[in-house]
Structure 1
């Protein structure tokens, strides 16, 4: 990999890993999104204007990116351009990328986190390829058997969102995986949504204890011991209707069901939006009503706009990775960068590692009928 001739250092004084004394550094893949690098650079501009403490390492073809960056003075001195001659496409298979990924912007983006140059990586690219590269370069946290992808779901809770995982890292999950997902999801809710003691539920076909597959029942039995160490409240089984409710803060499921729920929710939200647009423009009276209600409609649109909650977080790796939606525009990219910044500032991954280690011991003890009181005393992790 080569450095751009126009490259300028992000800062001079190094602080903690991936940060400086003045700024938090985010590594961004510029080439993976459906809208191209222009949308990614525009997202950087929005983020830089809102958050002076942000700096970036931008990965991609310098012949494309250098002219785009030159148009935005706000990025001068805050964006390091790292040349990567190739890009991972949406059609590329993860197995191919694992073998031939070096030289791509996505690989370079993750490499910056591994090298400690940046705290969090952000990419709009191929989800499977991004997870494969992240697994290869960052590796799993000790004790984690399967990483998970966590998303934010609009809800009735005061903060406006719930956390759901896994939403697509793997199609299956064993009982121990579900226990780890609960721990990781609670840590994400605590650091990302500022919830002191998150409420965690297991997604099932009913709330009765006798319902569900064997792995769900086993996880249900062991969850209280893990909850005591993970510092969260286990509310038991929850159903699909509870995902946007105020009954729970974190919904735990396998990647197959989580991804179906996520895509169904996105499709339903778009359908309702289309129906509302048709209804409000169907007649002169409807248009007049829409004009009178314009302020309320704009607030509603802002609240349910998926671009503003864009960003699935890869949990369980030795580094934080935020997966932006492939079709994200500048607003969506900026939202993903904002989430990355919040997680970096909270020291999220270090706290997550401590929680996973303690909860892992609790899960093992639960099988033997006891809980390790020493593990429960870990007051440092959040």
Structure 2
């Protein structure tokens, strides 16, 4: 790995906080080779991002010839890698064999050591999700008190806002304690990025009643209610799938199997609705004329359901900020992933997650604290 600076970057230690407590400047490491399209998408997205964020700096990681076009961009440092993790590489290959991959080198930029601060405040990659999670967890480790990292992203709701949902696929099987930890991390994420000091948390279930759900969900509900009574979380209660889009709660917590199904189902539904509308408006000359009249409304509808605007899932629970972009993202979508990483770093998400999980564990009764903190030791 070699480093080629294209402009003078201040050291990590020189990045300070403004009067409002936000971090500035914010430095983001980018895996330029990840995803289905690589530099043809990531580089234009990075250029657009820099134009819109004058206080941001980027560390672009990739094959030397691929990232060379950015050599003279302002506020950019180039870091060379000799390997690329492909979208179909097994986790073992990414973790054990490709030790100089752009993904691994990019993640290593956010790793701090005892004698050296991190080179970047956050990392963004559109690469293989399983590989990204495995490499990030191996390099960065988890925050004390967190057993498993979780993937969190936002979905649009009818209140013209967003609902944050986690986990979206990192953990297929979860215990009640894991779901409590997801709620704590999700609360910290929404508080930091969206500015909501006391966001509401809903537990995804097959009904709102306390008696509904399997044993894990019932136990998780008890832990969440206990945390709510101690003022550690703002627990709304059980929510159903349609509540994600109603905006019933700011955060919806579930295991990764359910969350991933919900995410893919919603994306498929949005695409189907768009296809249906297009088919109906192009059916004949009269419907085409109606489409011309309705075009402003149709464009606004398309904007509201455009999944690219919600790109950028946070890998929460790590000792470093890592964000996952869709592998098929275009430049517009990848820029949104950069925006989410920027907002999280700027509002010190990592510190907030650490503080909130520490407060939650300290407040739990000793028996619950041991189970919440010890599950991951054996996992």
- TM-score after normalising by structure 2: 0.90
| Whole-Å separation in 1 of the counterparts to 2:26 and 2:327 | 24
Residues 294-316 of structure 1: CA deviation (Å, up to 9, x unaligned)? 22222221111111110110010
Residues of 2 paired with 1:348 and 1:337: CA distance? 15
* 1:44 positional shift: 0.6
User: Is 1:2 aligned to residue 2 of structure 2?
Assistant: yes
Structure-2 change in CA distance of 1:93 and 1:315 (3 Å): same
For structure 1, the 5+ residue unaligned runs are 369-382
Out of 75, 80, 95, the residue aligned to residue 77 of structure 2 is 80
Q: TM-score, normalised by structure 1?
A: 0.89
Matched position secondary structure for 1:205: coil
Matching residue of 1:103: 100
Question: Which residue is equivalent to 1:328?
Answer: 329
Deviation at 1:93, TM superposition (A): 1.2
Structure 2 residue runs without a partner (length 5+): 113-117, 370-379
What displacement does 1:167 show?
Answer: 0.3
CA contact (8 A) 1:26 1:118 kept: yes
Q: CA deviation at 1:33?
A: 1.2
SS across alignment from 1:265 = helix
RMSD value, Cα? 2.1
Match of 2:87 in 1: 90
Q: Tell me, in whole angstroms, the C-alpha distance in 2 between the residues paired with 1:54 and 1:311.
A: 17
Q: Give per-residue Cα distances to partners, 1:91-119, cap 9 Å, x unaligned.
A: 11112222123110000000000041110
Q: For residues 18 and 125 of structure 1, what CA distance do their matches in structure 2 show?
A: 31
What number of residue pairs does the alignment pair up?
361
SS in 2 for 1:59: strand
Name the residue aligned to 2:374: none
The aligned residue for residue 147 of structure 1 is: 149
What SS does the aligned partner of 1:313 have?
A: strand
Residue pair 2:16, 2:25 contacting (<8 A) in 1 also:
no
Find the residue that maps to 1:107 and give its secondary structure.
helix
Query: Is contact 1:18-1:113 (8 Å) kept?
Result: no
Among candidates 39, 42, 47, match of residue 40 of structure 1: 42
Q: Distance in 1 between matches of 2:327 and 2:17?
A: 25
Q: What is the match of residue 58 of structure 1?
A: 60
- Partner residue in 2 for 1:276: 277
What's 2:233 paired with?
A: 232
Distance verdict in 2 for CA 1:290–1:215, change over 3 Å: same
Aligned to 1:122: 124
What is the alpha-carbon distance in structure 1 between the residues aligned to residue 159 and residue 367 of structure 2? 31
